[in-house]
Amino acid sequence: MALRGPAGLGPGSRRPLDEAVAGAEGREAPALVAAGGAPEDDEEDDGRGRGLLRWDGFSAWLHCVCVVGFDLELGQAVEVIYPQHSKLTDREKTNICYLSFPDSNSGCLGDTQFCFRFRQSSGRRVSLHCLLDQFDKDLPVYLKKDPAYFYGYVYFRQVRDKTLKRGYFQKVIVIHTNKKSIFYFVIRKIESVRFKKNILLYFSACNDVDRWPAPVPGKTLHLVLCCHPGWSTVLTAASTFRVDTNISVILPTVHEVDIFRCFCPVFLHSQMLWELVLLGEPLVVMAPSPSESSETVLALVNCISPLKYFSDFRPYFTIHDSEFKEYTTRTQAPPSVILGVTNPFFAKTLQHWPHIIRIGDLKPTGEIPKQVKVKKLKNLKTLDSKPGVYTSYKPYLNRDEEIIKQLQKGVQQKRPSEAQSVILRRYFLELTQSFIIPLERYVASLMPLQKSISPWKSPPQLRQFLPEEFMKTLEKTGPQLTSRIKGDWIGLYRHFLKSPNFDGWFKTRRKEMTQKLEALHLEALCEEDLLLWIQKHTEVETVDLVLKLKNKLLQADREHLPVKPDTMEKLRTHIDAIILALPEDLQGILLKTGMT
């Protein structure tokens, strides 16, 4: 493993870097700025006027940017990591190197964009960006960051070059982050990048990213992206992407792929695939290139939104992945994971997996591939096998013929892929909501009544989730109230209750409800006349109360409990009033020990 790069590309080298870029290009250094929010480029401000340290702004969006090249002696090698202080273990660098390059059989000449995901090394010290943590809690659960994983957004170029011994010029730009983000879309739009001359532009861009305002859920942020003369882009969190003043592309969101394009070869079986993803079944996507592989895996994970997919998924998986042995062993059942692969070797290695999707080249917008059939697994022998869904799975629900007819009609009428995606995404959304609403209704019933919350007792516990009790509720308040689809809903629920997705969903809901109980308990305390209470109790009991109230405040802050600011302020006022009511010697002790 090699780590090479310009010596002057470290933190604090903004001006030399920009000057080097400008000198190389014979023009002013480019900018990647947030409209209305970027400070002037001077060392004194450098983002610190916002109360941030150097690179805090960058860390709110990204972990690092890497350049990976191919060396005849070393193989794939990380040439540059920027910012230089970014920490990557040897294992993480190895994963990045191998996952950044398409398999040799893919034959990816020209430019290729895809993404990958891999597990962070164990023992890594998690750096908690306080502002980002605050924003992350306000995001929908399926958009929250993955603290245990890295995402890599890849721009790969391979072109013939007779001046090189290998005969090809190969270079990769990789953006690394631990959350789903706009960068998969951004990096796909950065075309005509002259890798040999303009590598420094990316590092200049990193300095600009450090000036961006932090991402805030629901807030529109205008970003101007200038990569070379005559090319600029404005990206907003409101999903408008302007390539120039005359063209505007409207995106459904900034984190989703073209779901219809990905499902197009298999849209007749889209409902069955939704079931497989919902149930966390082991699933392999065999594709001809990393682009098709990663886009299809991301589309599958997204199809159960707003329910989060809690199992592992790898948009692009190779034989060099550090989890290769773990995921391909035959000594135990295949794990709950979705893998995207391109190497023919996997057709044999993963032949024992119960569900395999074999897809061909994804057609350009407007072209519709022939629909594939569900086939038996024994017919899948190589990656060259015909496209199809290879599984013996029998869906619990009857196929919805109406959505099939609607999509087929769109194909016949040459409806734009974007419109087809909106239809398919809405269908999946309504299907998932019809499934999850009965669960939400039942879990809400596990919440204790507010009148049972006493300020002088610990918050009451949630009732236990009883599967059979839940099943009985489905007769009157099941998915039939909101969905036209018939089938074995009970069987689907029974299977789901044993899946990682249910486990993750219920743990999240239980945590939210427990925090709500803690918040209600705090509010109950604030409504009490605590000064009257201390008149009836000893000084020892009063000091104990102060300590408990202080711990409540710390807990509310640490766990981001859903408590109103005025409730917190009222509780602090109570604490101050109680301390002032104590003898001076006790007041002094409490003040000296930092209990106020």
Q: Which residues pair with 119 in a beta bridge?
A: 149
C-alpha dist (Å) from residue 553 to 327, 461, 547, 573, 578: 44, 20, 10, 12, 15
167 vs 242, residue with greater confidence: 167
Nearest alpha carbon to residue 534 among 567, 573, 580: 580
Residue 230's identity, in one-letter code, is G
> What HEC string does 47-102 produce?
CHHHCCCCCHHHHCCCCEEEEEEEECCCEEEEEEEECCCCCCCHHHHHHHHHHHCC
Q: What is the pLDDT of residue 229?
A: 45
Q: What is the pLDDT of residue 445?
A: 95
Tokens of 486: 């018939």
Rounded-to-integer distance, Cα 98 and Cα 431, Å: 38
Nearest alpha carbon to residue 211 among 47, 82, 63, 84: 47
Q: CA-CA-CA-CA torsion for 253, 256, 261, 266, nearest 10 degrees? A: -130
192 vs 274, residue with greater confidence: 274
Q: What is the pLDDT of residue 195?
A: 52
Q: What is the pLDDT of residue 22?
A: 39
Residue 324 sits at φ, ψ, to 5 deg, of -55, -50
Asked whether residue 402 carries a pLDDT value surpassing 50, the answer given is yes
Listed in sequence order, the residues at least 6 apart from 440 whose beta carbon sits closer than 8 Å to its beta carbon are 509
Asked whether residue 424 carries a pLDDT value surpassing 90, the answer given is yes
Q: What percent of the chain has pLDDT over 90?
A: 29
Asked whether residue 583 carries a pLDDT value surpassing 50, the answer given is yes
* pLDDT band with cut points at 50, 70 and 90 for residue 86: confident
Q: What is the pLDDT of residue 25?
A: 39
CA-CA-CA-CA torsion sign (364, 365, 371, 375): positive
Asked whether residue 169 carries a pLDDT value surpassing 80, the answer given is no
60 vs 231, residue with greater confidence: 60
What does the pLDDT average to over 429-457?
94
448 vs 217, residue with greater confidence: 448
What the chain holds in terms of domains, given with CATH numbers, is 56-214 (3.30.450.200), 256-503 (3.40.50.11500), 529-591 (no CATH)
> pLDDT digits over 10-57, tens only?
333 333 333 433 333 344 434 444 444 333 333 334 444 455 567 878
382 vs 516, residue with greater confidence: 516
Average pLDDT, the chain: 77
C-alpha dist (Å) from residue 175 to 156, 183, 211, 393: 12, 8, 17, 37
Cis peptide, bond prior to residue 306, ω within 30 of zero: yes
DSSP assignments along 336-384, one per residue: SEEEEE--THHHHHTTT-SEEEE--PPPPTT--PPPP-EE-GGG--STT
Q: What percent of the chain has pLDDT over 70?
A: 69
> pLDDT digits over 172-216, tens only?
777 777 665 566 555 655 544 445 445 566 667 778 778 877 777
Rounded-to-integer distance, Cα 454 and Cα 349, Å: 59
Q: What is the pLDDT of residue 462?
A: 94
pTM: 0.81
> pLDDT digits over 103-144, tens only?
765 566 677 888 899 988 876 555 444 555 666 666 776 667
The percent helix, strand, coil of the chain (3-state, each to 5) is 45, 15, 40
Query: Residue 248 burial by CB count (10 A; 0-12/13-18/19+): exposed, middle or buried?
Result: exposed
Nearest alpha carbon to residue 435 among 363, 487, 383, 390: 487
What does the pLDDT average to over 344-357?
89
> pLDDT digits over 232-260, tens only?
433 333 333 333 333 444 444 545 788 89
* pLDDT band with cut points at 50, 70 and 90 for residue 498: very high
Residue 38's identity, in one-letter code, is A
Q: What is the pLDDT of residue 516?
A: 94
> pLDDT digits over 281-329, tens only?
999 999 988 989 999 999 999 999 999 999 999 999 999 888 899 898 8
